[in-house]
Structure 1
Amino acid sequence: MLRPLETTLESNHYPLSPNLLGALKPSHPAHPVGELLEQYQAQGYLWLQGFLPRSEVEAFRRHFFRAFEDTGLLTPHSDPAEGRWSGQAEDRTLASKRLMEVVRSAAYESFCLHPRLWQFLEGFLGGPAYLHKRKIIRYTKPGDKSATGAHYDLVYLRGGTDRFCTVWIPIGDCPIEMGGLVYLEGSHAKGQALEAQFAQQNQLLPPEERLNAFNKNMGENGWISKNLPALAAKFGSRWLAADYQAGDIMLHSPYMIHAATTNQDALGRLRLSTDIRYQNVRDEIDARWSNHWTLEDML
């Protein structure tokens, strides 16, 4: 069960009332890979609690925000590991520069290639694990009303296999009010149906346009909808949420519909997370994801 919330969740100005929310089901990382794979296929996701060492996740959080100490993003003289927002507008040009520096850093690459993660995924994916070079890391300020709308990830990786796995990692504790990922219950089947529909609509488009998440048959940003309550009602479903802790990871299917909610953290902390994609290296790889993520790459 979800613990009682002190505030209603919100995404892109749409409130998510308690009747539209449910609890993610946790899975234990030590369970046999075959059992976890069955759960993943049935649910569309795996919430693996305590998968990474908490101390290492917190250390990387400190390392990340330390890079932004000269941008005005953080409360002066605060511990970077806390990620406390200054409440003021940062130097956006400098902050973007620092972000792209982190994206290209060995520290971030090493974090995403944690031995426990890639070794686990080799068994989970049934072969040598490949990490896509395009890796996304984001921080979200408290009160920022814009949030990632509902979507499934295959929309952005249509040029390769559909057997990849998204790994979403909260970098630091991320209670529900902080606005972590929420998942539309049972929606991996709905994602497959939507993709089949889009494939039919897109079949007469030029090859490059057909793969594009922003083609004329797609929604804004490749999203299905910004209106999470309406989408839950449409599919007769609910959004699953959790109090994530440092060390937890989420694995989700390329067809699983998910979104983010507004950071309403009472302590004024920035939410920090990364989403990366792993697949079996023997499967077809989307070549568009062979470069570092940039803010304007339109993927």
Structure 2
Amino acid sequence: MSIAAEAEQICRPEFPLAAHGKTLPAERTGWLMPTDPVIGVDPIRRRYQHDGYVWLKGLLPRADVIDFRHWVFERLAETGLVEPGSDFSLGIASAGGFDRSLADRRLMSLVRSAAYEGFCAQPLLVRFMDDFLQGISYLHKRKIMRFVQPGSLTATPAHYDLVYLRGGTSRLVTTWIPIGDTPAEMGGLVYLEGSHALGTKMEAEFRAASGDLSPEEQISAYNSHMSEGGWVSKDLPDMAERFDTRWLAADYEAGDVVLHSPYMIHASTINQDRSRRLRLSTDIRYQNVDDEIDVRWNNHWSLGDML
């Protein structure tokens, strides 16, 4: 069976997706279309340009992704985050509390590690990005890795990425990698269908209205013309209704990679996994090395760095 045919048979989540105290209604929820990488880079690029995203199934070796998941949680175990005695590759959340401060410090160490750099810049992915970007690809130094506990109210509000990268080219590509199987109920990324056109319009309106801002403010997500933190909205159902569209979710698997446009509006939902698995993912940015690079992203990610 083809991947496209399989997409028609994807099971819906066992319960509705939710974020920020609001539930996504079934009529405003849809599913991402998976893409088999074997179709070739040119059709992949065309699909990305048309849809604003491309969900590449099994681009990376599944075993390598699971091994990296094990490596991360093994190093976070001392914080109390992971269930004692459990398989680290499963990433089962501890039933008790954990030391959040220690976990944050350890996470900042992990994103500076050679192992994480190697995962984000593994040769297979770099070669693909070279082809996709039609040149030599550049990986931004600021790379983000997140874990989300089951039952946590943590969810990323709706936004488009260029808000945080205005100091460089707009021809960058966000690469989102689920580190482990991440069915929709675990709270992976959701995308507002067709919203790359909407994000482009919003950014053009911002630029037209930003003449009264200093150069520093014009590239900042935290300025007088932007909503709090650069978010578009925390009310996902309202956004889908207002723009008469749907939020697209997916049952991601280890080895999958999602590329999305810097104008594509996306968010996350809360982790409702009943097996108590921690969601683990990384979002990184690639661009052509010959294009202008936002110098603010030439430092490692730090909590509270205002980007």
Query: Normalised by the size of structure 2, how large is the TM-score?
Result: 0.96
158-167 or 138-147, larger mean C-alpha shift: 138-147
Q: CA deviation at 1:176?
A: 0.6
Q: CA deviation at 1:147?
A: 0.6
Q: How many Å separate the matches in 1 of 2:256 and 2:114? A: 22
Alignment of 1:16-27 (within 5 A): 16-27=24-35
Q: How many Å separate the matches in 2 of 1:145 and 1:221? A: 18
The letter for the 2-side match of 1:114 is: Q
**Count of residues in correspondence between the two structures:** 299
Alignment of 1:1-299 (within 5 A): 1=8, 2-299=10-307
Query: Normalised by the size of structure 1, how large is the TM-score?
Result: 0.98
Q: CA deviation at 1:87?
A: 2.7
- In the alignment, is the contact (CA less than 8 A) between 2:148 and 2:154 conserved in 1? no
The letter for the 1-side match of 2:238 is: A
Deviations for 1:89-132, whole angstroms, at most 9, x for unmatched residues?
A: 21122111110110100000000001111101111111100000
Q: How many Å separate the matches in 1 of 2:63 and 2:228? A: 38
Q: How many Å separate the matches in 2 of 1:88 and 1:199? A: 48
Unaligned segments of structure 1, at least 5 residues: none
Q: How many Å separate the matches in 2 of 1:271 and 1:253? A: 23
Deviations for 1:251-283, whole angstroms, at most 9, x for unmatched residues?
A: 000000000000000100100000000000000
Partner of 2:76, secondary structure, is coil
Q: How many Å separate the matches in 1 of 2:100 and 2:148? A: 13
- In the alignment, is the contact (CA less than 8 A) between 2:58 and 2:256 conserved in 1? yes
Instruction: Return structure 1 stretches of 4+ with deviation > 2 angstroms.
Output: none
The letter for the 2-side match of 1:33 is: V
Deviations for 1:7-58, whole angstroms, at most 9, x for unmatched residues?
A: 1110111101211111111111111211111100000000000000000000
Partner of 1:117, secondary structure, is helix
Percent identical among aligned pairs is: 56
Q: CA deviation at 1:146?
A: 2.5
Q: CA deviation at 1:293?
A: 0.1
- The residue aligned with 2:4 is none
Partner of 2:44, secondary structure, is helix
203-212 or 132-141, larger mean C-alpha shift: 203-212
The letter for the 2-side match of 1:126 is: Q
Deviations for 1:126-161, whole angstroms, at most 9, x for unmatched residues?
A: 110000000000000111113100000000000000
User: What root-mean-square deviation, in Å, do the aligned CA atoms of Structure 1 and Structure 2 show?
Assistant: 0.8
167-176 or 200-209, larger mean C-alpha shift: 200-209
Q: How many Å separate the matches in 2 of 1:197 and 1:149? A: 21
